[in-house]
């Protein structure tokens, strides 16, 4: 059973709302993927904060028109699954990781910060560390001098203790 006009408007409004805060959209062809595998993909997407849905291409075209993602409309054909994320790399990571383990999911294109990406571009985006990993690295870099100073101070104190004894 098809969607009536009100349902279609609701889908377009929902996708438009997701796009308003999004930085990245990734589009992939999902032909032949089983329900269990698709459920696993959706769970991973939820965990990563990615809005992941199978949508009618015409409705998504309407939602992206006039947005920075409008250039992606030319790649919207066939059975597609859409990953939309506020994190710049989350959607690309989730779909690329799944595509690496399942050959039935084929990355088609993406759009990040208004720039259209081909399959290689999406894979390159997915290889960038995520926000949490970058923050952890930054914290490690910031803590290294302090830790080094503390170790040097402890060694100096031990050396003076031994000299005094």
The count of other CB atoms within 10 Å of the CB of residue 152 is 10
pLDDT above 70: percentage of residues in the chain: 99
- Tabulate helix, strand, coil % of the chain (nearest 5): 60, 15, 25
Whether the predicted pLDDT of 159 surpasses 60:
yes
Structural domain for 72, as ranges: 5-128
Residue reference for tokens 């329900």: 35
* Confidence grade of residue 61 (pLDDT, cut at 50, 70, 90): very high
Residue 47: predicted pLDDT:
94
| 25 membership: H or E segment, kind and range | strand 24-29
Judge if 119 and 143 occupy the same domain.
Answer: no
Higher-pLDDT residue of 77, 3: 77
Kindly state the average pLDDT of the residues 37-60.
93
Judge if 37 and 66 occupy the same domain.
Answer: yes
**C-alpha dihedral over 23, 28, 30, 33, to 10 degrees?**
-70
Judge if 81 and 147 occupy the same domain.
Answer: no
Least confident residue range of 82-86, 93-97, 102-106, 160-164: 160-164
Phi, psi at 40, each rounded to 5°: -65, -40
Judge if 118 and 42 occupy the same domain.
Answer: yes
Judge if 146 and 97 occupy the same domain.
Answer: no
Judge if 71 and 152 occupy the same domain.
Answer: no
Judge if 136 and 117 occupy the same domain.
Answer: no
Whether the predicted pLDDT of 1 surpasses 80:
no
Judge if 13 and 48 occupy the same domain.
Answer: yes
How far is residue 106's CA from residue 88's CA, in Å, rounded to a whole number? 20
Judge if 124 and 134 occupy the same domain.
Answer: no
How far is residue 80's CA from residue 21's CA, in Å, rounded to a whole number? 21
Residue 27: predicted pLDDT:
95
CATH number at residue 115: 3.30.70.1730
Judge if 31 and 110 occupy the same domain.
Answer: yes
* Confidence grade of residue 95 (pLDDT, cut at 50, 70, 90): very high
Judge if 19 and 53 occupy the same domain.
Answer: yes
Judge if 147 and 123 occupy the same domain.
Answer: no
110 has which bridge partners?
26, 117
Q: Give the total number of structural domains in the chain.
A: 2
Total residue count of the chain as it appears in this document: 165
pTM comes to: 0.77
The count of other CB atoms within 10 Å of the CB of residue 47 is 10
Residue 85 in contact with residue 125, Cβ under 8 Å? Answer: no
């Amino acid at each position: 059973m098809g969607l009536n006009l009100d349902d279609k408007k609701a889908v377009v409004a929902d996708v438009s709302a997701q796009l308003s805060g999004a930085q990245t959209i990734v589009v992939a062809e999902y032909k032949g993927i089983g329900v269990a595998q698709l459920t696993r993909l959706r769970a991973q997407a939820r965990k990563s904060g990615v809005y992941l849905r199978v949508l009618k291409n015409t409705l998504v075209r309407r939602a992206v028109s006039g947005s920075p993602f409008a250039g992606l409309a030319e790649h919207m054909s066939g059975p597609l699954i859409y990953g939309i994320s506020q994190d710049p790399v989350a959607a690309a990571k989730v779909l690329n990781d799944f595509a690496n383990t399942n050959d039935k999911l084929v990355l088609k294109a993406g759009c990040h910060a208004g720039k259209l990406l081909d399959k290689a571009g999406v894979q390159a985006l997915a290889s960038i560390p995520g926000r949490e990993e970058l923050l952890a690295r930054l914290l490690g870099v910031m803590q290294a001098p302090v830790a080094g100073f503390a170790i040097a101070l402890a060694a100096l104190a031990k050396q003076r203790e031994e000299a005094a004894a």
